[in-house]
Amino acid sequence: MKAESKYSNKRILVLGLAKSGFAVAKLLKKMNSEITVVDSNPLEGNTEAKELLNQGFKVITGSNDADLVDTSFDYVVKNPGIPYSNDLIKHAQDLNIPVITEPEIAYSFSDAQMVAVTGTNGKTTVTTLIQLMLAHSPKFKQSFYAGNIGIPISDVIQKATKDDVVVTELSSFQLEGTIDLHPHVAVLNNIYSAHIDFHGTRANYIKAKMHITKNQTKDDYFIVNWNQSEWRQLAKDTQAQVVPFSDEQELEHGAYVKNDEIYYDKEFILNTDVIKVPGEHNVQNALAAINVAKIFNVSNEDIINVLTSFKGVKHRIQFVDQFNGRKFYNDSKATNIEATTVALEAFGDQELTLIAGGLDRGNGFDELVPQLKNVKNIVLYGETADKMVDAATKANVTNIIKVSNLAEAVPEAYRQSDDGDVILLSPAAASWDQFDTFEQRGDQFIEEVEGLKGEA
């Protein structure tokens, strides 16, 4: 780790704790910055705030009023999920204080090579596959993953050396708060419409995503999905070397699919049907990872070993269990329509009992109607339940059931299902109406399935 950066010896306000705020506050203090931590949650039950207090930090809890920031601060580091409409953030911007996010800080102190991954869907899977493949690269001693995958970058960069690589999953929330972030390899897996409630417009959302390549040069690489004209157009906005991937067309350079076989630069790698995790989208995820692996000289044998042994990431079409002829899958990370569409398509003609619902962001679900053709039972809960009833009715789903919460949804889905069915949690909505995180939602689903198995 570097001894200092532009964020050393500064006066910095960290807004919002959770994992990333907690980690970046400790990193900045280690680098001799004066830190004030502000968290809107009360001190009671706030484990991170109490620990920082015990370590001598100035911590303000139970408030995030605008007057907590003034011109004596050099920077504000905000939790990625805090909107820019927050009064403290708006006041900081009025005072011309830069508002940044944790990846910007972590990158400034990192000695390690950085590979950064973004996209609307598939980020976690691609990040994990790249990390596993780069563990076999002759160019690095170790490979790590971090970021939106659930591990603060500020923690990982303190372990990673100049001989290592950190594969970082970055959300649009994180990327919007970056200034100097400069990955050597950046991956744009796809872009659909998401998080418009946060960014205001789709154009703003795309602009935030493209921060991943804004500081790249001709010596860097930009890996991009070549399936849609919009994404090909975005590739014109980078200075980096573009390496495309596609499962729809043959390419002169990069990874692609032809006749159910994966190639890189015309060289055969493996057949698509040996990839362990189901779904066309996971073929695309594999192509993105192969492009990165090839840049860093990973052998075909090691690429194949990863893709034929990888069983998926937790909360993303994760196989949970099988009993009484039913297979249970946890896709809690499907926080939007596109992600649930991907999940439903992954199971092809398999008959499904779908559990869905969550935070109402104001959107309808008509886009999901064509994908519900193989759903014979749908169990809905949460704020979006009524809207999803409407979509399911339009899709001619014959058995539509509303319940109050996930704890009721799982046994109800089991009762409505038959031998040979897949029971899939894929909410098509954020978790925040009833859960703190999608991980918490997915963990409860797993617990409910385990309890159901015991009763069965």
Binding-site annotation: residue ranges: 119-125
DSSP 151: B
Integer CA distances (angstroms), 195 to 127, 151, 160, 171, 328, in order: 21, 22, 32, 10, 28
Asked whether the beta carbons of 170 and 194 are under 8 A apart, the reply is: no
CB 91 within 8 A of CB 113: no
The four Cα atoms 8, 14, 17, 23 give a dihedral, to 10 degrees, of 0
Q: Residue positions in the annotated binding site for ATP?
A: 119-125
Query: Reading across the β-sheet that carries 375-380, which strands appear in turn?
Result: 318-323, 326-330, 422-425, 352-356, 375-380, 399-402
Pairing of strands 261-264, 255-258: antiparallel
Tell which residue, 45, 5, 54, 50, has the closest CA to residue 27.
5
Q: Is residue 143 exposed (0-12), middle (13-18) or buried (19+ Cβ within 10 Å)?
A: buried
- β-pairing, 58-61 with 75-78? unpaired
Q: CA separation (Å) from 184 to 180, 181, 246, 273?
A: 13, 10, 22, 31
